[in-house]
Amino acid sequence: MMRAMRMPRLAAACCLLVVLAACGRSHVVREPGRGSAVRGERPVQVSQPRYGATAVVQRGQTVYRIATENGITALDLALWNDIPPPYTIYPGQRLRLYPGGAPKSSRPVSSAGASKPAPKPSAPAAPPPATSTLAWRWPTDGNVFASFASGDPTRQGIDIAGKAGQPVRAAADGVVVYSGSGLVGYGELVIVKHNDQWLSAYGHNRARLVNEGQLVKAGQQVAEMGRSGAARDMLHFEIRYNGKPVDPQAYLPKR
């Protein structure tokens, strides 16, 4: 009798283990501002600025949703429009889909009846690096295995190799304006604002050690290196000037 009762329980336990194993293999992407998970949706990894274009916020939309629908990362959309954490937007608000200060395409005035096509604007020359008075420090130890490339949206910062748990430190004095994992593609992310023009971002961490609003000093540990949202243990590090990515190695001390 007892043996007969144990068999159905054993079968039920085996079924439960199969279900849990299947759930453990599922891919879940969380959308900022929502508690539920969005399955099967691929986040934008590379921003494609749409110069001159804007989007008007509709009821129920989030920064992540508008960014994804327009081929832009949520972080870029927030920075381009000076949207502070927790990245709240409102119906009717107009958002720019390109970085501020980008060259605007001008339409030449043509005479009546003219049939010649308008000439294509030439690509603007890359501006020289902005001068910074901040005393920048390297955010962690390790070799740079992916460098910054101006104009390449896939290389908006540098990637530094290292080991899991390795200290990630603030590159300059500032205040933590973001500490979370809501910006898809950056993993566990910390953003430090140094002044009105400059900020730095630290992505793919294993653990975040600071909270939003916290003051940090240059060299202070803000996170532990990891591979959240990445294929290997690394730090993705960005420096931004007025929201635009610049080459971190142009400001960090020479090694």
Tens-place pLDDT, residues 61-110:
888 889 888 988 888 888 888 887 778 888 888 999 988 754 444 344 34
Rounded to an integer, the average pLDDT of 210-236 is: 95
pLDDT at residue number 55: 92
pLDDT at residue number 44: 53
Q: Is the pLDDT of residue 12 over 90?
A: no
For the chain, list the domains and their CATH numbers. Answer: 29-34+41-96 (3.10.350.10), 144-250 (2.70.70.10)
The C-alpha angle with vertex 253 and arms to 248 and 255, in degrees rounded to 5, equals: 105
Per-residue b or e along 48-76, where b marks 16 or more CB atoms closer than 10 Å to that residue's CB: ebeeeeebebeeebbbbbbbbebebbbbb
Q: Report H helices in the chain.
A: 2-24, 63-69, 74-80
State the chain's mean pLDDT as an integer: 76
pLDDT at residue number 124: 47
Q: Is the pLDDT of residue 240 over 90?
A: yes
Q: Is the pLDDT of residue 31 over 50?
A: no
- Cα–Cα dist 50/76, whole Å: 12
Rounded to an integer, the average pLDDT of 118-130 is: 54
Q: Is the pLDDT of residue 41 over 50?
A: no
Q: Is the pLDDT of residue 117 over 60?
A: no
CA 97 to chain centroid: 15
**Cα-atom radius of gyration of the chain, to the nearest Å?**
23
pLDDT digit string, tens, across residues 172-222: 999 999 999 877 778 999 999 999 899 999 999 999 999 999 999 999 999
If one counts every other C-beta atom within 10 angstroms of the C-beta of residue 242, the result is 16
pLDDT at residue number 219: 97
Residue that wins the pLDDT comparison between 223 and 196: 223
Q: How confident is the model at residue 45 (pLDDT cuts 50, 70, 90)?
A: low
Give me 28's structure tokens. Answer: 């879940």
pLDDT at residue number 59: 86
> What percent of the chain lies above the pLDDT cut of 90?
41
Give me 55's structure tokens. Answer: 């989007």
